[in-house]
Amino acid sequence: MKRFVEGEDRRQATLLPECLDDYVTQDNPVRVIEVFIDELDLGAMGFAGVVPEATGRPAYHPATLLKIYLYGYLNRIQSSRRLERETQRNIELMWLTGRLMPDFKTIADFRRDNGPAIRAACAQFVVLCRQLNLFTRAVVAIDGSKFKAVNTRDKNFTVTKVAKRIEQVEASIARYLAALDRADRQDDDVAEAKTVRLKEKIEGLRRQMQSLKEMGKQVEAAPDKQVSLTDPDARSMATSGKGTGIVGYNVQMAVDAEHHLIVAHEVTNIGSDRAQLTSMGQRARDATGCEEITVLADRGYYNGDEVLACEGSGVLPCIPKTQTSGNAKRGLFTVADFIYDAGNDRYTCPAGKHLTRGKVRSDRRDDIDHYRNLTACSSCALKPRCTPDKHKRLKRWEHEGVLDKMQDRLDRLPDAMTIRRQTVEHPFGTLKAWMGSTHFLTKTLENVKTEMSLQVLAYNMKRMINIFGVKPLMTAIAA
């Protein structure tokens, strides 16, 4: 008696189902891809090749290639060569494409040549989510994360790196010259052979030195003092680990706090988040269709000018203030210990004295006011805990009231940062897991934006399938 599950003889002739549809169940997610793309107006979005040419070889319809890409990104297959292989062996892709099998170059060229249209398709899925009333809470969390580009750190140059490498090459040349001098004082054949090798190494190092000097000129001429050789748009960026960094891109995301859908995203090669609040807030507000939206972000986005730009635009940021002073750790008073009275335009210090605004703005910026009380400070018993100077002087930005309003909003939402962390950090981790250790496969900022849009579209579609289920989502898309 057989004790194992037995397979069929591969030489046994069988009658397979005549209909390819029999291989794909009714609740297979691939059917959602079919319905969604068939409902898109690809011509209006800007896809090339929607109208066939009158002459020449027939081309693949852009819908077919878009389906291949969306299926691939849903199943962690981003490479055009791997997608080519999948069209030849994957039954779901055979069903989706009608057994069409484009070669890898056709697949890759489609992604490269239809970047704006692919990004529009991603945005259209967010519009679908809005039409299904999924953004009623009007709260989003934004954050940025660094994704690796197709550019190693050795192929990225900054002013500091070029100077350091020149110093290393100079030290190597000096070491070899010293060895050459010692070899010249010897008369045997071994010394002669050694001299030849040393001269070759020195010549190679001098060529390397010349290349580094040329690279130094390019770096100095670059607007941001960086040059990347493999991907010219990639930039060296610091990461959270001490002494670490990558050459890549800063991906910005705004994620809906209720259903954890990515409502807006952007890719930039600027490593800091400080200038991204306004643009991401506006993108999120426009995508959700809400008149007013609350935006949760971490301290990396704290920027007075950005918060001011959000004022009156329907974007209500909630960002904790950056901790730039070490006074609290030293047991000294901080700015938070001085209470501002807007009605009387003055501060009250911990000793109960009033600091009033000076008549002249003496700061480098002409929008900074100074508050002080010379008389009270001179005889104050708390002065050792307040300031080492003759008197305490507080600076106040003329638009500080906007920051005070934001702090009030944050005080009314004590769990805001917990919600932010639970909302926006998970999608980043999921997408990086899907992309693998290499992250982006394409080069240049525009192509990377297209690649990221495909990732976001796949993420949102999978999230919607989990929320609705396959059949209800298909019905909603076709409605």
Query: Average pLDDT, whole number, for the chain?
Result: 90
Which residue, among 131, 107, 92, 115, has the nearest Cα to 267 in the 3D structure?
115
Query: Model-level pTM?
Result: 0.89
Percent share of the chain, pLDDT over 90: 64
Of residues 324 and 333, the one with the higher pLDDT is: 333
Of residues 22 and 360, the one with the higher pLDDT is: 22
With a cut of 90, say whether residue 183 has pLDDT above it. no
What is the pLDDT at residue 187? Answer: 65
With a cut of 90, say whether residue 453 has pLDDT above it. yes
With a cut of 60, say whether residue 1 has pLDDT above it. no
Q: Average pLDDT for residues 154-166, to the nearest whole number? A: 92
Confidence of residue 365 (pLDDT cuts 50, 70, 90): low
With a cut of 70, say whether residue 362 has pLDDT above it. no
What is the pLDDT at residue 40? Answer: 95
Domain chopping of the chain, boundaries: 20-113, 135-149+234-322+407-456, 153-228, 335-396
**How many other CB atoms are found less than 10 A from the CB of residue 214?**
11
What is the pLDDT at residue 386? Answer: 86
Q: Which residues of 86-98 are buried (b: 16+ CB within 10 A; e: fewer)?
A: bbeebebbbbbbe
Separation between Cα atoms, residue 421 and residue 297, nearest integer Å: 9
State which CATH number among 2.130.10.10, 3.30.420.10, 1.10.275.10, 3.30.9.10 fits the domain covering 135-149+234-322+407-456: 3.30.420.10
Write the pLDDT tens digit of every residue in 271-313: 999 999 999 999 999 999 999 999 999 999 999 999 999 988 9
Q: Which of 23-32, 387-396, 418-427 has the lowest average pLDDT? A: 387-396
Most confidently modeled of 152-156, 280-284, 396-400, 436-440? 280-284
Write the pLDDT tens digit of every residue in 123-145: 999 999 999 999 988 999 999 99
What is the pLDDT at residue 367? Answer: 77
